[in-house]
Amino acid sequence: MSVFAEKLIAWQQVHGRHDLPWQQTRDPYAVWVSEIMLQQTQVSAVIGYYGRFMARFPTIASLAEAPQDDVMQHWSGLGYYSRARNLHHAAQTIMREHGGIFPQDFAQIQSLKGIGRSTAAAVSVFAFQQPQTILDGNVKRVLARLHAVDGWPGLPLIEKRLWVLAESLLPEKNLPAYIQGLMDFGATLCTRSKPRCQDCPMQGECQAFQQQRVAQLPASKPRKAIPERQTTMLMIMDAGEILLEKRPDKGIWGGLWSFPECKPDQIPVQQAEQRYGMQAESLEDLPVLWHTFTHFKLEITPQPLQLIGKRPGLPQHLQWLPLNDAIAAALPTPVRTLLKTLQQSRY
Ligand code: SF4
C-alpha cells in the first residue's frame, strides 16, 4: 500500500466523516442518490434534501414510477436540475433494462444517464467494494498538489495524468475508507483557498508543500482573451445642440440614446452626408475610449463634427438635443462620458 493510502486511511479514521446518512447503507440506489446530490453541492446542503428524497422515493421503482414534477419538486432549491432529470431517467432505464436491480458491472453503471466515471467508481466502491477510484474536483486538487502537477486539471491531458496517478495510489484493502478519505481530505483539509498544511499528515509526501507552491497548484482555468470590437461615434453638433440616435430595443444598449456610429474604415463626414444628407466638417479628435462588456471590449473613436448649412428633416429616432438635456437623457456610460468631455471642451 502506498504511504499516501496508508496515511489517508489513518487520517480518515480519526478526522473523516462517519455519520452521514448515506454512509449507513450499502444500497447502491441510496449511494447513487447521495453521490449525485453531492456533485457541486456541499454535504451540509445535501443532508436535508437526501432525507426527504429517500423518504418519498425509497426505491428505484418508486423513483421510476413517479411523475417528473414530483421528482423536480423534491430537488427544488438544490440546483443543477439536469441531475434530477437524469436520476429519474436512469431509474426508468434500470427498471426497463436491468429488471429493477442496480447493475454491478462498471461499464453498465457508467452507461446510465448522468453517471460519469467518478460517480460510477464511488457507487462501485461503497456498494459493491469493487476496486475503482474517484477523481472529482477535490481529488484533482489534492493529487495536483501532492505530485506538483502543472496545468489546469480540466485539460484532457492533465486529467488523464491525474487518473493514472489516482489509479496507481489505490490500495488493495480498506477501499471504502480510502475513497471516503479522499473525499473528506479534499473537502475539509486540503481545501482550495485555505489548505491547512500545518495540520496535514502528507507534508512529507506533498511536493507542492516541499516546493512552496501550494497557492499556485492546481493551475486555474486559463482565461479566454476577451475579443475587441471597434466603432466610430459621430458627434454631430449644431448651434449648441447635438444629434443623438435612439438604439433599437434589442442588442447592446437597447433603447438608450447614443451617437450615430460608423465602422472604423468609413469616413465620418461621408457617412453624415450619405445617411442623413448633412454637410459637416471634422473637428479636433477626442481621445479614444474603451468600454468593457461581458463578452467583448469596445474601442470607441469619437469623431466631433460640425454641421454646415441647413438641418435636414430626420426620422423620429434621431433628435437634436441641447448638450445639457442630452447629458440628462437615458445614455450608456461612455456616451455620457463623451458628452461631458464635449461640455468641458471648447466646442
Ligand atoms: Fe494539501 Fe498542504 Fe497537505 Fe499538501 S501539505 S496535501 S497542500 S494540505
One pLDDT digit (tens) per residue for the chain, 347 residues: 889 999 999 999 999 999 999 998 999 999 999 999 999 889 999 999 999 999 999 999 999 999 987 898 898 878 788 899 899 999 999 999 999 999 999 999 999 999 999 999 999 999 999 999 999 999 999 999 999 999 999 999 999 999 999 999 999 999 999 999 999 999 999 999 999 999 999 999 999 999 999 999 999 988 888 899 999 999 999 999 999 999 988 788 888 899 999 999 999 999 999 999 999 999 988 999 999 987 899 999 999 999 998 999 999 999 999 999 999 888 888 999 999 998 887 55
Task: Say which amino acid occupies 319.
Answer: Q
- 214 in contact with ligand 1, CB cutoff 6 A: yes
* pTM, 2 dp: 0.68
Q: Which among 6, 35, 159, 205 is annotated as catalytic? A: 35
Shortest CA distance to 9 belongs to which of 185, 270, 138?
Answer: 185
DSSP 199: G
Q: How far apart are CA 82 and CA 110, in angstroms?
A: 17
CA distances from 16 to 13, 38, 47 (A): 6, 16, 16
Residue to mutate (ligand 1; options 209, 210, 211, 217; most atoms within 8 A of CB):
209
Q: Rounded to 5 degrees, what angle do the CA atoms 59, 108, 89 make?
A: 45
- 187 in contact with ligand 1, CB cutoff 6 A: no
Q: Yes or no: say if 335 and 257 are a contact pair by the CB < 8 Å rule.
A: yes
CB burial readout 202-227, b (16+ within 10 A) else e? beeebebbeeeebeebbeeeeeeeee
Cis ω on the peptide bond leading into residue 171 (within 30° of 0)? no
Q: How far apart are CA 293 and CA 85, in angstroms?
A: 34
245 is catalytic: no
| H/E segment holding residue 118 | helix 117-128
- 200 in contact with ligand 1, CB cutoff 6 A: yes
Task: Say which amino acid occupies 221.
Answer: K
- 209 in contact with ligand 1, CB cutoff 6 A: yes
